[in-house]
């Protein structure tokens, strides 16, 4: 049996080192990006020229530049190398953070946040992870990076209010600058150098494949979903810190008293539903229910937004819904995208995510400035309900996983033959074998997969 297709083999020490160090870079960068989220609306409103619109713009400006540059950065890394492009992106993030720290007006912070987002290295980090791991371990490496994002978000929501009390807004941006510099050190001192840099369809955008992605209505529904989710998140945090500070009279440094228990409870509450969605194959009903939960939480601020326990409960409901949706959306993209177009599908998905953050910040700032805080939650609730209607017509996603197998040395004829054989095996939903890359891209149902037949199929190909 060909060991190349084995699903449960352990990572090598170098693969683990690469995955953990790249996850650390991602965590340091995203922690810096998220750190100001829970406090910025309060701390920035006293800056010269600050208006609700400008505060919302400053909070979300990174989303626009990240959406613009993330796909080009990925393409540039194929030409100029992964580490040089990641270094450039991190340096832009460092410069942007320093610009924001040195600024005494809201316009300077807008410029700094825009530069932060321009260092859009997320796709390049994923491509480097693909260079440094074998095909069968690619999903594990991506999962570690995904976990690092979730941890950085949760920790920043608790740490932001505490640190802002000690060092103020300028100090937060200086801390973010230091963390970004540290990520450059990790990149060059800890992350291994890849022996070979090549294109990976599962992790990178194929410039000629956008039409296939945009013609897939199920993928477009998910793109719209992540757009809405991050619109709602950013819009909410243009005004939630103001509610805690002004309505509830809770000092900014004490906001973590709400965020910490809310996050702990929300994460604990979502776990049974993740199991229900994945293991019991109830993805669509769980997904729709949690979109409804987010809508309910936002609209609940119309009635309960003036009391401590009302706000606490609504934030708990919101983050329970947000955390589950944030975790399941990329999983659904992976299940639905053709096996050889996962990288392109995720590139479009990420662009939609950052555009949503930008629209949410600017939209909430404009609404707050013209109509007040409460209509912002109406805006968020309406967006969530619109998302619910769009998602209600989606097909239930198949319960499949991605599997990549190295078949280096295979020729075009063998690739066609192998692809035909793979599609006849129980549990193989899709199979694309790319001879020039030496990779077989599969979608499999692990519960139904005939592993013995899979082994025989790969053994029949001389590689």
Exposure string for 143-176, b = 16+ CB within 10 A, e = fewer: ebbbebbeebbbebbbbbbbbbbeeebeebbbbb
Taking the C-alpha atoms of residue 131 and residue 100, their distance in angstroms, rounded to an integer, is 34
Amino acid 201: pLDDT: 81
The model's pLDDT over 391-427, given as tens digits with 9 standing for 90+, comes to 999 998 888 888 888 888 888 888 899 999 999 999 9
- CATH number at 449 reads 3.30.70.100
What would the mean pLDDT of 267-290 be, rounded to a whole number?
A: 89
Three-class secondary structure assignment of the chain? CCHHHCCCCCCCHHHHHHHHHHHHHHHHHHHHHHCCCCCHHHHHCCCCCCCHHHHHHHHHHHHHHHHHHHHHHHHHHHHHCHHHHHHHHHHHHHHHHHHHHHCCCHHHHHHHHHHHHHCCCHHHHHHHHHHHCCHHHHHHHHHHHHHHHHHHHHHHHHHHHHHHHHHHHHHHHHHHHHHHHHHHHHHHHCCCCCCCCCCCCCCCCCHHHHHHHHCCHHHHHHHHHHHHHHHHHHHHHHHHHHHHHHHCCCCHHHCHHHHHHHHHHHHHHHHHHHHHHHCCCCHHHHHHHHHHHHHHHHHHHHHHCCCHHHHHHHHHHHHHHHHHHHHHHHHHHHHHCCCCCHHHHHHHHHHHHHHHHHHHHHHHHHHHHHHCCHHHHHHHHHHHHHHHHHHHCCCCCCCCEEEEEECCCCCHHHHHHHHHHHHCCCCEEEEEEECCCCEEEEEECCCCCCHHHHHHHHHCCCC
Is residue 187 located within the same domain as residue 311?
no
- Residue that the structure tokens 């939960």 belong to: 293
Q: What is the pLDDT of residues 71-103, one digit of tens each?
A: 999 889 888 999 999 999 999 999 999 999 999
Give pLDDT, residue 195.
Answer: 81
For residues 276 and 417, membership in a common domain is answered with no
Check whether residue 221 and residue 126 sit in a common domain.
Answer: no
For residues 463 and 461, give the distance between their C-alpha atoms in angstroms, rounded to a whole number: 6
The pLDDT assigned to 207 comes to: 79
Residues 127 and 270 in one domain: no
Question: Are 191 and 299 in a shared domain?
Answer: no
**Helix axes 13-34 and 138-189, enclosed angle (nearest 10):** 80
Structure tokens at 293: 């939960």
Percent of all residues in the chain with a pLDDT value above 90, rounded to a whole number: 64
**Same domain, yes or no: 296 and 230:** yes
- Whose structure tokens read 């599908």? 345
- Alpha carbon distance 46, 8 (integer Å): 55
Residues 386 and 439 in one domain: no
Same domain, yes or no, for 278 and 171?
Answer: no
What φ, ψ does residue 442 adopt, rounded to 5°?
A: -125, 150
Query: φ, ψ for residue 121 (rounded to 5)?
Result: -100, 5
- Residue of 155, 184, 213, 178 whose CA lies nearest to 84: 184
Q: Does the structure show a pLDDT above 70 at 295?
A: yes
pLDDT of residue 79: 87
Which pLDDT belongs to residue 410?
A: 87
Q: Residue 229's domain is classified under what CATH number?
A: 1.20.1250.20
Q: Are residues 297 and 188 in the same domain?
A: no
17 vs 21: CA distance, rounded Å: 6
pLDDT value for 150: 85
Rounded to the nearest angstrom, the gap between the alpha carbon of residue 442 and the centroid of all alpha carbons in its chain is 23
Are 21 and 85 found together in one domain? yes
Query: The pTM is what?
Result: 0.92
Q: With a cut of 60, say whether residue 3 has pLDDT above it.
A: no
189 and 84 in a single domain? The answer is: yes
Distance separating the N- and C-terminal Cα atoms of the chain? 13
- In the prediction, which pLDDT does 463 show? 45
Domain that holds residue 438: 401-459
2 and 93: one domain? yes
Domain boundary pick from 149, 178, 204: 204
Q: Round to whole Å and give the CA distance between 51 and 238.
A: 12
Judge residue 313's burial from the number of C-beta atoms within 10 Å of its C-beta, 0-12 exposed, 13-18 middle, 19 or more buried: middle
Segment among 1-5, 193-197, 248-252, 387-391 with least mean pLDDT: 1-5
- Cα–Cα distance list, 296 to 1, 169, 444 (Å): 53, 32, 36
Indicate if the pLDDT at residue 272 is higher than 80.
yes
The predicted model gives 286-293 an average pLDDT of 96
User: What strands lie across the sheet with 439-444, from one edge to the other?
Assistant: 401-406, 439-444, 428-434
Q: Which of 398, 419, 450 is the last residue of a domain?
A: 398
Number of structural domains found in the chain: 3
Residue 8's pLDDT band, with cuts at 50, 70 and 90, is low
C-alpha to C-alpha distance for 44 and 252, rounded to whole angstroms:
12
Supply the mean pLDDT for the chain: 91
Closest CA to 33 of 161, 172, 170: 172
CA-based nearest residue to 404, from 427, 429, 431 = 431
Domain C-terminal end among 398, 421, 448: 398
- Cα 35 from Cα 40, distance rounded (Å): 9
């Amino acid at each position: 049996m060909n060991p190349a297709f084995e699903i449960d083999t352990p990572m090598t020490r170098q693969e683990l080192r690469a995955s953990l160090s790249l996850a650390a870079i991602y965590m340091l960068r995203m922690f810096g990006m998220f750190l100001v989220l829970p406090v910025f609306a309060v701390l920035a409103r006293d800056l010269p020229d600050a208006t609700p619109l400008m505060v919302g713009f400053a909070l979300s400006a990174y989303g626009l530049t990240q959406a613009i540059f993330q796909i080009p950065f990925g393409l540039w890394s194929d030409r100029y190398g992964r580490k040089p492009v990641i270094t450039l992106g991190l340096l832009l993030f460092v410069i942007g953070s320093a610009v924001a720290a040195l600024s005494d007006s809201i316009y300077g912070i807008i410029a700094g946040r825009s530069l932060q987002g321009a260092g859009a290295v997320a796709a390049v980090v994923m491509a480097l992870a693909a260079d440094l791991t074998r095909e069968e371990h690619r999903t594990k490496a991506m999962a570690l990076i995904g976990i690092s994002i979730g941890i950085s978000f949760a920790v920043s929501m608790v740490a932001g209010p505490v640190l802002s009390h000690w060092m103020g807004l300028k100090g937060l941006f200086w801390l973010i600058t230091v963390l970004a510099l540290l990520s450059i050190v990790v990149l060059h001192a800890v992350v291994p150098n890849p022996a070979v840099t090549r294109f990976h369809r599962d992790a990178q955008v194929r410039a000629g494949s956008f039409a296939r992605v945009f013609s897939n209505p199920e993928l477009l529904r998910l793109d719209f979903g992540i757009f809405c989710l991050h619109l709602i998140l950013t819009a909410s945090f243009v005004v939630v810190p103001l509610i805690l500070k002004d309505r509830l009279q809770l000092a900014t440094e004490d906001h973590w008293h709400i965020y910490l228990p809310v996050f702990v409870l929300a994460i604990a509450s979502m776990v049974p539903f993740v199991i229900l969605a994945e293991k019991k194959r109830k993805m669509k009903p769980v997904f729709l229910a949690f979109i409804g939960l987010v809508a309910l939480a936002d609209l609940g601020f119309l009635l309960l937004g003036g009391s401590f326990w009302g706000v606490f409960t609504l934030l708990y409901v919101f983050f329970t819904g947000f955390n589950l949706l944030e975790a399941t959306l990329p999983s659904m993209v992976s299940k639905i995208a053709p096996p050889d177009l996962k990288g392109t599908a995720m590139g479009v998905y990420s662009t939609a995510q950052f555009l949503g953050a930008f629209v949410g910040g600017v939209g909430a700032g404009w609404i707050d400035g013209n109509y007040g805080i409460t209509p912002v939650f109406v805006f968020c609730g309406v967006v969530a309900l619109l998302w619910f209607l769009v998602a209600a017509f989606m097909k239930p996603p198949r319960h499949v996983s991605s599997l990549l197998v190295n078949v280096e040395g295979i020729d075009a004829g063998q690739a066609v033959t192998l692809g035909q054989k793979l599609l006849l095996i129980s549990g193989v939903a899709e199979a694309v074998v790319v001879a020039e890359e030496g990779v077989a891209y599969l979608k499999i149902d692990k519960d139904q997969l005939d592993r013995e037949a899979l082994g025989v199929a790969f053994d029949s190909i001389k590689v």
